[in-house]
DNA sequence: TACGTTTTGTTTAGTCCTGAACTAAGGGGA
DNA sequence: TCCCCTTAGTTCAGGACTAAACAAAACGTA
């Protein structure tokens, strides 16, 4: 019988799983080095995990001058997670494997302002989960635009959804009977980047999203900054133009009011580039066709964003800035204004900071939310709290059952 | 004989000392709770520390319904530290006790651009240290305006001092034969605030300094954010006015170029408020007398600063903002413009963020630098690295010697 | 083919720390 | 007064983890 895992070992065991999930197969020696643990302990842990059927031995690698390493890999059927992106008018749902790869995706209508929205949401998730599969469902990650007090309890404040003090986490947990982790959507993306993306190679970076709103997540020393009340990264409301246009937050000249999708569309209509019924797609098409008024609108937005991000780079000194979001579809036009403004606004010693713009799919948001679940082992009893422990328990228990 | 401390226990023991130094006397139970350690371990640790003569038992407190607590306090003669503020034209030096209280202070001339500046600096520090006292000197903390790669090695880049890749830490260490911790001056202040000031009650806060330059330090989850290359908090070069006045960093419209001391003085001269030979004191005097042109200059600066800090609050969601620095002498005039701009630029949910403006003395900078030494036990083998271990070793060894 | 080198993985003795049970020392209510 | 309750502090068995020595399995060289 496997050793009864306590809270501490459980975390370390999960770290092994997370590492294998995030970085692919690795040898015991590699794992020990990367997780800053002694080889001796790794022998112990992997013995347990092999016994529990959570990992398996793969082929040996060719020797690099010494004994060849026996690689270890995740047993893919060990677990899966569901990620949900909540928007004002729809939900995006994905199911991911333990390695973060999407196995199923769906988009359904949703009315965030409905009186029954909480039960609607639960029903949509329940429908998506469907019948029990052989692979156990570890939990549900939910990404929302707004502040979340703590991942565990999941109380949400969101101007965009019109939610105040909504106990999203508790309700879903009760309705679904599964661990539920709620987080700000950009923060979730940052966790996903840290786990599966560019962020793997960096301890300090910024994730910036452009689209309807503008958001950021800050990663310092490998973990995401949440702030006092989970509200860090709200760069959409940075004041950038004194006396500028009014923002939906009530203030004037916010970054979002300058470079958000609505602002660009409004400017496009104002200047006659697109018609009154057209949206951001038409504006982008116009720019793609080479319409100079359209490219100017994106260029101006790039300029404003560039100056604002330069400020963030000064404030936080990141290794890299990652730009994501729906707005990146038109990045070629943004960059025209962004690059010169961004570089010129930086102190000479920071001009070299790379900006990575990643391709974007609609389900990326939901994939980020799913990463909340997959990543819980990382934060040792940290933000995810009780729900994180529960996710770990589910992962370990399903295996333990097949073994006793 | 006391148990031979290994690297791990040493850190925990030091954490006890640091807590007692920072928060005053406490019971074993309190210490265990605050340091997230079991009562059992605390019994063990305090036994050692009592044996080493580093702490002592104080009076009992009155019972709060149960057994009364035996309070423990630091033995004040256990150690002292020296803090140095390096400015372009002078040095400020202080000696502090293990509780952070200043016991001696001095200010000496210094030329940061001199060819012999490193040996001058070492000589000034050596003179200040003076003859050996009964209380062992744990180390030297040095605060500089600029980026510091790591506290331990102490390589400095500072535009203000005209230093590039200056190996300050290594040189001083060799010359003085003492542990030397070098850090950005605002970061050092933040550490001091966290240890002795308002920051004791907060895990997430901002420290902002106004004076010749404008700087900030960011505290997240109790520790100071340094960024990828130790350059976090450089808010002096936030771009705030597109196409604004040129800044000494080479860019245009930086915050520092708008609200730094030089900018205010220049504006005062421009508008005829003060004469060509007058400085910031005369401008402040004029404002104190009620000169409306002078108060307007400070008010405008307050307005600009308020908007910029609102942006920081959005980005980082701190519990409180602490304003420090020479510039606070005229805060009553700043606040006139600051308060409305700051509050109005915040999202409604953040309007309540308190701003604490603290009284300022010239030696505060140096006191902050000294806190680097006193605080080393806090960062478990973290930023201070080898030098931190050395400080701990000195603290423990002097006591161990009186015991064997 | 024998032998040192290098890297992987395991075993063993021992340290750090915790949880749980316990003692110590007070307060307050019947 | 006696008994229970609460809080402080200690003791002790046991688990997590490490360092160090060791075994295993390749490669390179003569």
CA nearest to A143, candidates A385, A360, A379, A363: A363
> A357: pLDDT confidence band, cut at 50, 70 and 90?
very high
Dihedral (CA of B348, B349, B350, B354) sign: positive
Q: How far is A131 from chain B (nearest CA, A)?
A: 41
**Sheet of B70-74: strands edge to edge?**
B26-27, B70-74, B55-60
How confident is residue A380, by pLDDT bands cut at 50, 70 and 90? very low
Q: Which residue of A has its CA nearest to B243?
A: A345
A130 at interface of B, judged by CB pairs closer than 8 A: no
- CATH superfamily of this structure's domain A79-190+363-401: ATPase, nucleotide binding domain (3.30.420.40)
Q: What is the pLDDT of residue A136?
A: 80
What CA–CA distances, in Å, run from B353 to A114, B161, B316, B321?
A: 32, 34, 12, 7
CA separation for the pair B335, A302 (Å, rounded): 33
Angle, helices A117-129 vs A168-176, to 10°: value is: 50
Q: Do B228 and A319 touch (CB under 8 A)?
A: yes
CB B4 under 7 Å to nucleic chain D: no
Phi and psi (nearest 5°) for B210?
-125, 145
* Distance of residue B368 Cα from the nearest chain A Cα, in angstroms: 20
Q: Do A231 and B346 touch (CB under 8 A)?
A: no
A12 beta carbon < 7 A from strand D? Answer: yes
Please name the residues between 176 and 215 in chain A that touch chain B, using a CB distance below 8 Å: 203-204
| φ, ψ for residue B269, nearest 5 deg | -70, -45
Tokens at A403, concatenated: 């073994």
B204, B311, B382, best to mutate vs chain A, most A CBs in 10 Å: B311
Q: Does A233 contact B at CB distance below 8 Å?
A: yes
Residue B316 has pLDDT above 70, yes or no: yes
Cα–Cα distance for residue pair A80/A71, rounded to 1 Å = 22
Residue B288 CB burial class (10 angstroms; 0-12, 13-18, ≥19): middle
Residue A111 sits at the vertex; the CA angle it makes with A109 and A269, to the nearest 5 degrees, is: 85
Provide the token pair at B310.
Answer: 């609102």
Q: Which residue is nearest to nucleotide C28 (CA to C1')?
A: B65
Contact list in A for residue B228 (CB cut-off 8 A) is: 203-204, 317-319
Angstrom distance, B389 CA to D24 C1': 38
A237 with B347: Cβ contact below 8 A: yes
A137-144 vs A80-86, strand pairing mode: parallel
Residues B227, A310: C-beta atoms closer than 8 Å? no
* Beta-strand relationship, A70-74 and A80-86: unpaired
- Nearest C-alpha neighbor of A163 from the set A178, A180, A184, A177: A184
d(CA A236, CA B328): 30
Angle at A191 between CA A190 and CA A194, to 5 degrees: 85
- Mean pLDDT, chain A, as a whole number? 84
Pairing of strands B320-324, B355-357: parallel
Backbone angles phi, psi at A38, to 5 degrees: -75, 150
pLDDT of residue A259: 95
- Does B218 contact A at CB distance below 8 Å? yes
Q: Of A226, A228, A315, which has the smallest distance from its Cβ to B233's Cβ?
A: A315
Residues of B with Cβ-Cβ distance to A311 under 8 angstroms:
235, 238-239, 311
Chain B residues within an 8 Å CB radius of A251:
344-347
- Are A7-74 and A200-357 in the same CATH fold? no
d(CA B223, CA B81): 21
Q: What is d(CA B105, CA B102) in angstroms, rounded to the nearest whole number?
A: 7
Q: Is A160 helix (H, G, I), strand (E, B) or coil?
A: coil
Q: Give the right CATH number for B198-357 from 3.40.50.12280, 1.20.1740.10, 3.30.420.40, 3.40.50.1220.
A: 3.30.420.40
Q: Is the CB of B243 less than 7 A from some atom of nucleic acid strand C?
A: no
Q: A203, B227: Cβ pair inside 8 Å?
A: no
Q: Using 50, 70 and 90 to split pLDDT, how confident is the model at A404?
A: very low
Pick from A389-398, B245-254, B354-363: least confident = A389-398
Greatest mean pLDDT range, A331-345, A364-378, B5-19, B369-383 = A331-345
A-chain residues within 8 Å CB-CB of B349? 147, 157, 231
In percent, the amount of chain A with pLDDT more than 90 equals 36
Q: Read off the pLDDT band of A384 (50, 70, 90).
A: low
Check if B317 contacts A (Cβ < 8 Å). yes
Residue A220 sits at the chain B interface (C-beta within 8 Å):
yes
Q: Residue A2: pLDDT band by 50, 70, 90 thresholds? A: very low
Q: Is the CB of A33 under 7 A from strand D?
A: no
Q: How many residues does chain B have?
A: 404
Taking CB atoms and an 8 Å limit, are A345 and B228 in contact across chains?
Answer: no
B149 touching chain A per CB within 8 A: no
Contacts of B186 (CB under 8 A, 6+ apart): B207, B209, B215, B216, B217, B233
From CA A35, how far away is CA B60, in angstroms rounded? Answer: 45
Structure tokens at A26: 């690795």
Query: How does residue A21 score in pLDDT terms, banded at 50, 70 and 90?
Result: confident
State the DSSP string of A21-40.
Answer: HHH--EEHHHHHHHTT--HH
pLDDT digits (tens, 9 = 90+) for A241-272: 888 888 887 888 899 999 999 999 999 999 99
| B5 confidence band (pLDDT: 50, 70, 90) | very low
User: Which residues of chain A (163-202) touch nucleic strand C at CB < 7 A?
Assistant: none
B188, B82 contact by CB (below 8 A): no
Q: Chain B within 8 Å of A227 (Cβ-Cβ)?
A: yes
Mutation target to probe the B interface, by most B beta carbons within 10 A, among A199, A253, A300, A316 is: A316
Residue bearing tokens 């102490």: B154
Please give the helix or strand (H or E) that residue B99 lies within, else none: none
B239: nearest CB among A225, A250, A307: A307
Which of the two residues, A393 and B234, has the higher pLDDT score? B234
- The per-residue pLDDT for range B141-200, each reduced to its tens digit, is 999 988 887 655 667 787 778 888 888 888 888 888 888 888 889 999 998 888 778 887
B41 sits within 7 Å of strand C by its CB: yes
What's the average model confidence in pLDDT over B218-223?
A: 85
Residue B2 approaches strand C within 7 Å at CB: no
Average pLDDT value for residue range A87-105? 87
The total number of residues written for chain A in this structure: 404
- CA distances A184 to A149, A368, B17, B353, Å, are 9, 10, 38, 21
Sorted by where each begins, the domain ranges of chain A are: 7-74, 79-190+363-401, 200-357
Q: Is the CB of B47 under 7 A from strand C?
A: no
Q: How many CB pairs under 8 A join A and B?
A: 116
Strands (E) in B98-148, as ranges, are: 102-109, 137-144, 147-148
Region B91-95: mean pLDDT is: 93
Tell me whether residues A249 and B315 touch, CB distance under 8 A: no
Which residues are registered as beta bridge partners of B148? B156
pLDDT confidence of residue B58: 84
Strand C reaches within 7 A of the A381 CB: no
Q: Does B225 contact A at CB distance below 8 Å?
A: yes
Strand D nucleotides where any atom sits below 7 Å of a protein CB = 5-13, 15-21, 23-28
pLDDT at B235: 93
Cα-Cα-Cα-Cα torsion B306, B308, B309, B312, nearest 10 degrees, comes to 160
pLDDT tens digit sequence for B261-315: 999 999 999 999 998 889 899 999 999 999 999 999 999 999 999 999 999 999 9
pLDDT at position A1, please? Answer: 27
- How large a percentage of chain B has pLDDT more than 90? 36
The CA distances from residue A11 to A377, A382, A386, A392, B381, in Å, are: 6, 11, 13, 8, 22
- CB contact under 8 Å between B234 and A346, yes or no, is no
pLDDT at B393 over 60: yes
Tell me which CATH homologous superfamily contains domain A200-357.
ATPase, nucleotide binding domain (3.30.420.40)
Residue whose structure tokens are 């402040």: B284
pLDDT over 70, % of chain A: 88
pLDDT in tens, B372-382: 887 765 444 44
Classify domain B78-190+363-401 by CATH number.
3.30.420.40
Strand D closer than 7 Å to the CB of A271?
no
Distances in Å between the Cα of A359 and the Cα atoms of A141, A176, A326 are 22, 33, 9
Beta bridge partners, B181, equal B141
**Are A249 and B348 a contacting pair at CB < 8 A?**
yes
Residue nearest to nucleotide D8 (CA to C1'): B67
Over range B10-35, report the average pLDDT.
79
Contacts of A234 in chain B (CB under 8 A): 314-315, 317, 347
Shortest Cα distance from A294 to chain B (angstroms)? 22
The C1' atom of C14 and the CA atom of B3 lie apart, in whole Å, by 15
Q: Which residue of A has its CA nearest to B214?
A: A315
Instruction: List the nucleotides on chain C closer than 7 A to a protein CB.
Output: 5-13, 15-21, 24-28
Mean pLDDT, residues A318-345: 95
User: Which CATH number is correct for A7-74, 1.10.1740.10, 1.10.10.10, 3.40.430.10, 1.10.287.110?
Assistant: 1.10.10.10
Residue A7 pLDDT > 60: no
Label residue B4 by pLDDT band (50, 70, 90). Answer: very low
At B205, is the pLDDT very low, low, confident or very high (cuts 50, 70, 90)?
very high
Task: State how far the Cα of A208 lies from the Cα of A186, in Å rounded to an integer.
Answer: 8
Q: Around Cβ A127, how many Cβ atoms within 10 Å?
A: 11
Q: Any alpha helices (H) in B202-291, and if so which ranges?
A: 255-259, 261-270, 280-288
Does at least one atom of strand C sit less than 7 Å from the CB of A303? no
| pLDDT, tens only, A177-208 | 888 888 889 999 998 888 778 887 788 999 99
Could you tell me the end-to-end alpha-carbon distance of chain A, in angstroms, rounded to an integer?
6
pLDDT, mean of residues A53-57 = 83
Task: Identify the pLDDT of residue A8.
Answer: 53
């Amino acid at each position: 019988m496997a050793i009864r895992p306590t809270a501490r070992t459980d975390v370390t065991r999960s770290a092994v799983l997370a590492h294998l999930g995030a970085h692919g197969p690795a040898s015991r020696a590699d794992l020990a080095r990367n997780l800053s643990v002694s080889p001796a302990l790794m022998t112990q842990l992997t013995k347990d995990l092999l016994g529990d059927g959570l990992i398996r031995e793969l082929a040996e690698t060719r020797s690099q001058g010494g004994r060849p390493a026996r690689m270890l890999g995740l047993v893919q059927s060990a677990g899966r997670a569901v990620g949900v992106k909540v928007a004002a008018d729809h939900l995006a749902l994905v199911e991911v494997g333990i390695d973060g790869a999407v196995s199923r995706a769906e988009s359904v209508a949703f009315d965030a302002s409905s009186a029954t929205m909480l039960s609607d949401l639960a029903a949509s998730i329940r429908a998506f989960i469907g019948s029990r599969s052989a692979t156990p469902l570890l939990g549900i990650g939910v990404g929302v635009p707004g502040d979340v007090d703590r991942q565990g309890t999941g109380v949400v404040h969101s101007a965009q959804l019109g939610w105040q003090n909504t106990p999203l986490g508790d309700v879903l947990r009760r309705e679904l009977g599964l661990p539920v982790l709620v987080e700000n959507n950009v923060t979730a993306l940052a966790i996903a980047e840290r786990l599966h993306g560019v962020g793997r190679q960096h301890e300090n970076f910024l994730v910036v999203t452009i689209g309807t709103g503008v958001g950021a997540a800050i990663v310092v020393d490998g973990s995401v900054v949440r702030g006092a009340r989970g509200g860090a990264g709200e760069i959409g409301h940075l004041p950038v133009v004194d006396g500028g246009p009014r923002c939906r937050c009530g203030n004037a000249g916010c970054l979002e009011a300058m470079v958000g999708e609505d602002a660009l569309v409004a400017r496009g209509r104002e200047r006659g580039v697109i018609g009154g019924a057209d949206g951001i797609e038409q504006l982008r098409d116009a720019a793609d066709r080479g319409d100079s008024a359209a490219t100017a609108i994106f260029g101006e937005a790039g300029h404003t964003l560039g100056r604002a991000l330069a400020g963030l780079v000064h404030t936080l000194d990141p290794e890299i800035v990652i730009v994501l979001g729906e707005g990146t579809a038109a990045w070629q036009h943004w960059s025209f204004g962004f690059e010169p403004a961004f570089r010129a606004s930086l102190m000479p010693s920071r001009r070299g900071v790379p900006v990575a713009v990643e391709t974007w799919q609609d389900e990326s948001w939901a994939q980020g939310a799913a990463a909340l679940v997959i990543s819980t082992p990382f934060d040792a009893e940290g933000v995810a709290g009780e729900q994180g422990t529960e996710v770990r328990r589910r992962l370990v228990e399903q295996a333990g059952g097949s073994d006793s």
